[in-house]
Chain A
């Protein structure tokens, strides 16, 4: 059994023009000990998916349908009080490393232990503080930083504190939403190495969200690429490195420069994402797709599923008639 099974998840934001379908039929699984990446441009629904899993949606958002099974339990059926047992203890979250991740007027130690004390009510304060010290060691921070306030730490240190905090109750799943985006490259490298090291030590799974595909190719076991509220393609890292299959993923990969490969002109993807209040029929990427076929306009994309992953695209409908090399090589 997978740790997390998302099936046909739909999340809407209420708007004056009607429901905005930010997540519209998303399915994927995360295995135990796996790092699963969710990529896509801003507004594709990757963060909304993660916040929906963690029951952290804010504003007029609601889960409109689908299922989220965590370790065999259907999370969408739990009451808020029942879900509290899952918060942090089994699913924790690391947010974007901006300034305001930590409460500016509370000492680091208080913020590390309040989750422990909230869930393990019998824990003595002194025990919680000792655990906080151990957590700081895990992320290579000196213990005296416990007495500091967030503004007295650097951005990288603050993000290490947040990661230590996420580990406090040894959760099975950690959602990481752009955990290194606001950091410089050197600091980012340190944080990523630390995350991988800790994952090996503790065996948690990670739902890793970023728009930085090259970073994902480095650390994720499998990657899901979202476009306009849907998953275009899920592929193992090996498959991605060998060449993505969905035209959108190919376009995304061509939008990043390579340091070692041949010099190629960065292309980007022309056009913009469709309106998610009244999404187009058929494939949502059709209008920007260089390989669009007539049936892309009205038929839902063909779904090809194999051991490499899953791709939703009409190009793969008739495999024998399809010359993969013509599409796959940039």
Chain B
């Protein structure tokens, strides 16, 4: 399959327009909230002179009341990679705060997403190929159970069992207290050890829907006429299952996977709170509690950019797996 140029151009243009809209929204939203952060910081830091407030105002790009002027400043700073300065972590730049939290989030959310989809697909395929077996029934039963409990509850349950009762894994945090004194290998071991429960919790929580979606679509694909024809043609079971069945059933699951990838940088707020894990989710949560607008803005922008980028990527990959979408 070749991507038609017009298709690619349209997808990129659409992504660019979406990005612009996201940036404008991101710029406007905090400004709709009343209050002057410069005066707030100036009063909180016991440097409450009007001169200091004026200096801080300038630092935040608020010295001119015109929205258009502020927007221009905002864009200029964005282009230079400057997302502003965090109120709460003053004077640390927002970009630095985000970059510090990002690896933790990527570590657990990315891994658990990949793990969850891979396991869900395998279980779903096996269930659809052998419907009604004990394996299929068990997978379905467990899936419906997982889908009907709140997902943080799974995390709490795992902490209770494997953290508290059995004491196999730490109950929270991303690394042990003696982290700084450890060797490189020791640090890696400490981090890995701390990621097990969060990753498993996240993976289990989202596993059920991946199983159900693929199992459903594959069961339906297996009853299509082209499957009967493939059998009549005497094709091998493998070719029938994968080139004819799974290939067709997989499309919605692939879309789901790409959407999840876009959301990875947003972190998993609830799970990060349950595990006291220092990722983007936790950071955003605290930023909201602390009215740290630049940080919230920065986090939102990062999330928006990554979702738009991954969606664009999915759009460009899609014609290769489903030739029908490459239409004018």
Q: Which A residues have a C-beta under 8 Å from some C-beta of B? A: 54, 56, 58, 84, 87-89, 91-93, 95-96, 98, 100-106, 114-115, 118-119, 149, 151, 162, 165
Shortest beta-carbon distance from A66 to chain B in Å: 21
A117 shortest CB reach to chain B, Å: 9
Give Cα distance in the complex from A118 to B244, angstroms: 14
Which A residues lie within 8 Å of B233 (CB)? 87-88, 92, 114-115, 118, 165
Q: Is B234 within 8 A of A118, CB to CB?
A: yes
Which residues of B sit under 8 angstroms from A96, Cβ to Cβ?
A: 225
- In Å, the complex CA distance between A119 and B321 comes to 27
Which residue of chain B has the shortest Cβ distance to A114 in the bound complex? B235
The answer to whether B40 has its CB under 8 Å from any CB of chain A is no
Given A87-B233, A89-B234, A118-B234, residue A101 in contact with residue B226 (CB < 8 A): yes
Q: Is the CB of B229 within 8 A of A104?
A: no
Given contacts A100-B225, A103-B244, contact A118 B236 (CB under 8 A): yes
Tell me the complex Cα distance, A227–B230, Å.
30
Considering the chains assembled together, what is the distance between the CA atoms of A95 and B233 in angstroms? Answer: 12
Inter-chain contacts of B225 with A (CB < 8 A): 95-96, 98, 100-101
Contact between chains at B235 and A118 (CB < 8 Å): yes
Whether a CB of chain A sits under 8 angstroms from the CB of B324 is yes
Residue of A nearest to B322 (CB): A105
Say which residue of A87, A105, A106 sits within 8 Å of B232 (CB atoms). A87
Is B223 in contact with chain A by the CB < 8 A criterion? yes
Taking CB atoms, residues of chain B closer than 8 Å to A105 are: 247-248, 321-324
Can you list 7 pairs linking A and B with CB atoms under 8 Å apart? A58-B223, A58-B228, A84-B234, A87-B233, A102-B229, A114-B233, A118-B233
The verdict on B291 contacting chain A, using a C-beta distance below 8 Å, is no
**Assembled-state Cα–Cα distance A19/B324 (Å):** 42
Bound complex: CA A236 to CA B220 (Å): 41
**Chain A residues within an 8 Å CB radius of B231:** 56, 87
| B324 proximity list for chain A (CB < 8 A) | 104-105, 149, 151
CA gap between A87 and B230 in the complex, in Å: 10
**Would A92 and B226 be within 8 Å (CB), given that A104-B248, A151-B323 are in contact?**
no
Q: Is B224 an interface residue (CB 8 A)?
A: yes
Bits for B297-328, please: 1 = Cβ < 8 Å to A, else 0.
00000000000000000000000011110000
- CB of A119 within 8 A of CB of B234, answer yes
Which of B224, B225, B239 has the largest number of chain A CB atoms within 10 A?
A: B225
Contact partners of A92 in chain B: CB under 8 A: 232-233
CA gap between A115 and B234 in the complex, in Å: 7
Task: State in angstroms the CA–CA spacing of A202 and B96 once bound together.
Answer: 76
**Contact at A101–B234, with CB atoms within 8 Å?**
no
With A118-B239, A149-B324 already in contact, the answer to whether A87 and B228 are too (CB < 8 A) is: no
CA distance A106 to B324 in the complex (A): 10
Q: Are B234 and A87 in contact (CB under 8 A)?
A: yes
- Shortest Cβ distance from residue A52 to the other chain B in the assembled complex, whole angstroms: 13
Q: A149-B323, A151-B324 are in contact. Are A95 and B247 (CB under 8 A)?
A: no
B243 within 8 A of A: yes
Q: How long is the Cα–Cα vector from A92 to B231 in the complex, in angstroms? A: 10
Least CB distance, B251 to chain A, in whole angstroms: 8
Residues on the A chain within 8 Å of B243, using CB: 103, 106, 114
In angstroms, Cα B229 to Cα A88, docked, is 10
Q: Determine the chain A residues whose CB is within 8 A of the CB of B247 once the complex forms.
A: 103, 105-106
> Of residues 182 to 227 in B, which have CB atoms within 8 Å of A's CB atoms?
223-226
Query: With a CB–CB cut-off of 8 A, which chain A residues contact B223?
Result: 58
Q: How far is the CB of A16 from chain B (nearest CB, A)?
A: 15
Q: Are B229 and A101 in contact, with the CB atoms below 8 A?
A: yes
Known contacts A104-B248, A149-B324, A54 near B232 by CB under 8 Å: yes
If A87-B233, A102-B226, A114-B239 are given as contacts, then 10 extra A-B residue pairs at C-beta distance below 8 Å, sorted by A number, are A56-B232, A95-B228, A100-B225, A103-B230, A105-B321, A105-B324, A114-B233, A115-B235, A118-B233, A118-B239
